[in-house]
Chain A
Amino acid sequence: GAVVSQHPSRVICKSGTSVKIECRSLDFQATTMFWYRQFPKQSLMLMATSNEGSKATYEQGVEKDKFLINHASLTLSTLTVTSAHPEDSSFYICSARDPGRDVTDTQYFGPGTRLTVL
């Protein structure tokens, strides 16, 4: 149980285009989802927290107009990288939690999406 999927797993796009990444909780309802960015050989940096049906909360330094997050249902959150540039190339990871499922409030992580912007 507690499976989180991401799609696509890899995407290559041209500079200036927009890319959408989906994060789905497959067997539980995720009231909260998180989006992280991981640079090579570095740790995960939290970008934003999204609660179903409300606007995402972005971490300091993350451009909300560039990284659009939508959490329209209890099982789906999307991250759209708008007008992507090579410096946006990274590994994007989502996680989800359902406090009703796990009283210790564990986050379950997706497998990540490798974005390469040419």
Chain B
Amino acid sequence: GNSVTQMEGPVTLSEEAFLTINCTYTATGYPSLFWYVQYPGEGLQLLLKATKADDKGSNKGFEATYRKETTSFHLEKGSVQVSDSAVYFCALRGSARQLTFGSGTQLTVLP
């Protein structure tokens, strides 16, 4: 079946540091890939997505590139802010149209 393996947290960074959260996946066919963000006390929000190999999703300074050869979709941001503190979930959607989530990575950005 489909699965998503996500870098375990928590991750603590200083403001303006570079962020990478690793995500790899296992799936049959050609899944779509997503990053969702969950701010404290709120529901999940779609951060970015990519629907085919070599696509780059981007939003709010975050980027992730769909790498089929390495089955990866790592999340990156060049300069994090305190307001980026949240839990980040990598997810895929396969042929069954259901989302499979990674375990989530807690990010804390210190001023």
Residues of A whose CB lies within 8 Å of any CB of B are 4, 6, 32, 34, 41-44, 46, 49, 93, 95, 104-112
Binds A, one of B20-28, B38-46, B65-73, B77-85: B38-46
- Interface positions, chain B 56-107, Cβ under 8 Å from A, are 89, 93, 97-99, 101-104, 106
Could you say which of A4, A42, A104 has the most chain B C-beta atoms within 10 Å of its C-beta? Answer: A104
Chain B residues with CB under 8 A of A107: 46, 93, 99
For A93, list chain B residues within 8 Å (CB): 43-44
Residues of A contacting B49 with CB < 8 Å? 104, 106
CA distance A44 to B97 in the complex (A): 16
* CB <8 Å contact, B103 and A109: no
**Given A111-B42, A111-B43, does the pair A43, B102 have CB atoms closer than 8 Å?**
yes
Q: Which chain B residues have a beta carbon within 8 Å of chain A's beta carbons?
A: 32, 36, 42-46, 49, 51, 89, 93, 97-99, 101-104, 106
Which residues from chain B contact A109 at a C-beta distance below 8 Å?
36, 43-46
A23 CB to nearest chain B CB (Å): 11
* Minimal beta-carbon separation of A44 from chain B (angstroms): 5
Which chain A residues lie closer than 8 Å to B99 at the CB level? 34, 44, 46, 95, 107
- Of the A-B pairs whose beta carbons lie under 8 Å apart in the complex, a sample of 24, sorted by A's number, is A34-B99, A41-B104, A41-B106, A42-B104, A43-B89, A43-B101, A43-B102, A43-B103, A44-B89, A44-B99, A44-B101, A46-B98, A46-B99, A93-B44, A104-B51, A105-B32, A107-B46, A107-B93, A108-B46, A109-B36, A109-B43, A109-B44, A109-B46, A112-B43
Bound state CA distance, A6 and B93, in angstroms?
23
**What is the bound-complex CA distance between A51 and B101, given in angstroms?**
21
A80 to B36, CA, bound (A): 26
